[in-house]
């Protein structure tokens, strides 16, 4: 088993949260062990050998005393005034990758409440994409083990309970941002009438990781690259294509039934503080 596979559901380390040990055996994902992550993962669509290779697609993370690293530092400083605000609280919610929270995070942008009850095909598709997109980041993560900004600056994050895991998990690329951008791409294709709102929410989801002090800006951008590459590869999988079609039909019915998402004013106000 290669290094990427040994760390496989450490896609969840990059996509962190807390919880119970995971062991799974599926046709697509070999038996994997991960520390206490608390993520109820579904098997992905792709074999690990079919995932995009971040070692081929991404440059190394910014080196010391370069303009790229200076840009990362400036992006971090720009978010400091948001700590303790409603935008900081939204970043905390974006950090939680335990479903149903991610579905709720994209419901306002979708214009429809995404849930296991209302939109079961879409809900399952989001959960299955999670592992594929997250794993795509691990070649570079494991090679460089980039230090995260909260460690470099001896500060806190918006999720203190996750910091012990984060300290040992490479910052580049951002798995959180990859998954968020992958979801945004899929949702925008399913519901093109809301594509601007959904893509903007995907961008904000990545920015939440900088606001949270858990990632550098270049981590976020590299995560989006891997998300786009994985999303493109997923379109060659017949199961994914079928699930996208079923989700599209499901959303059309929800729109025709005029069942908009509710409680979106607070999210809109928080996002205005970008």
So what's the pLDDT on residue 139?
A: 94
Q: Give the model's confidence band at 273: pLDDT under 50 very low, under 70 low, under 90 confident, else very high.
A: confident
Give the whole-number percent of the chain exceeding pLDDT 90.
Answer: 80
Active-site residue, selected from the candidate residues 121, 148, 194, 209:
209
Q: What does the pLDDT look like over 165-210, one tens digit per residue?
A: 999 999 999 999 999 999 999 999 999 999 999 999 999 999 999 9
Q: What does the pLDDT look like over 3-35, one tens digit per residue?
A: 333 334 433 443 433 322 222 333 343 322 333
- Going along the chain from its start, the domains and CATH numbers come out as 64-271 (1.20.144.10)
Is it true that the peptide bond before 100 is cis, omega within 30 degrees of 0? yes
Is there a catalytic annotation at residue 215? yes
pLDDT score of 246 more than 60: yes
So what's the pLDDT on residue 37?
A: 52
Q: Which residues contact residue 158 at a Cβ distance below 8 angstroms, ignoring those fewer than 6 apart? A: 83, 88, 91, 92, 95, 211, 212, 213, 214
Active-site residue, selected from the candidate residues 132, 162, 169, 219:
219
Cβ atoms of 219 and 146 within 8 Å: the answer is yes
Question: In 3D, which of 11, 193, 19 has the Cα closest to residue 109?
Answer: 193
Is there a catalytic annotation at residue 167? no
Active-site residue, selected from the candidate residues 87, 176, 194, 201:
176
Average pLDDT, stretch 34-49?
77
200's tokens: 């903007």
So what's the pLDDT on residue 262?
A: 79
């Amino acid at each position: 088993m290669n290094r990427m596979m040994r760390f496989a559901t450490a896609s969840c380390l990059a996509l962190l949260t807390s919880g119970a040990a995971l062991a799974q055996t599926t046709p697509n994902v070999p038996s994997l062990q991960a520390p206490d992550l608390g993520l109820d993962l579904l098997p992905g669509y792709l074999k690990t050998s079919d995932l995009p290779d971040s070692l081929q697609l991404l440059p190394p993370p910014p080196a010391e005393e370069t303009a790229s690293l200076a840009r990362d530092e400036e992006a971090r400083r720009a978010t400091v005034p948001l700590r303790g605000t409603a935008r900081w609280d939204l970043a905390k919610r974006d950090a939680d990758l335990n479903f149903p929270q991610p579905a709720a995070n994209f419901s306002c942008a979708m214009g429809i409440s995404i849930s296991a009850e209302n939109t079961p095909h879409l809900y399952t598709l989001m959960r299955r994409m999670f592992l594929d997109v997250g794993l795509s980041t691990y070649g570079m993560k494991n090679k460089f083990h980039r230090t995260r900004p909260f460690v470099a600056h001896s500060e806190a994050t918006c999720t203190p309970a996750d910091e012990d895991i984060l300290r040992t998990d490479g910052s580049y690329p951002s798995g959180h941002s990859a998954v968020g951008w992958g979801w945004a791409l899929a949702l925008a294709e399913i519901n093109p009438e809301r594509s601007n709102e959904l893509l903007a929410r995907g961008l904000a989801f990545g920015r939440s990781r900088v606001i949270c002090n858990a990632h550098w800006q270049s981590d976020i951008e590299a995560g989006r690259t891997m998300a786009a590459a994985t999303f493109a590869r997923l379109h060659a999988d017949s199961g994914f294509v079928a699930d996208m079609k079923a989700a599209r039909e499901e959303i059309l019915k929800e729109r025709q039934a005029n069942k908009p998402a509710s409680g979106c004013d607070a999210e809109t106000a928080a996002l205005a503080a970008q």
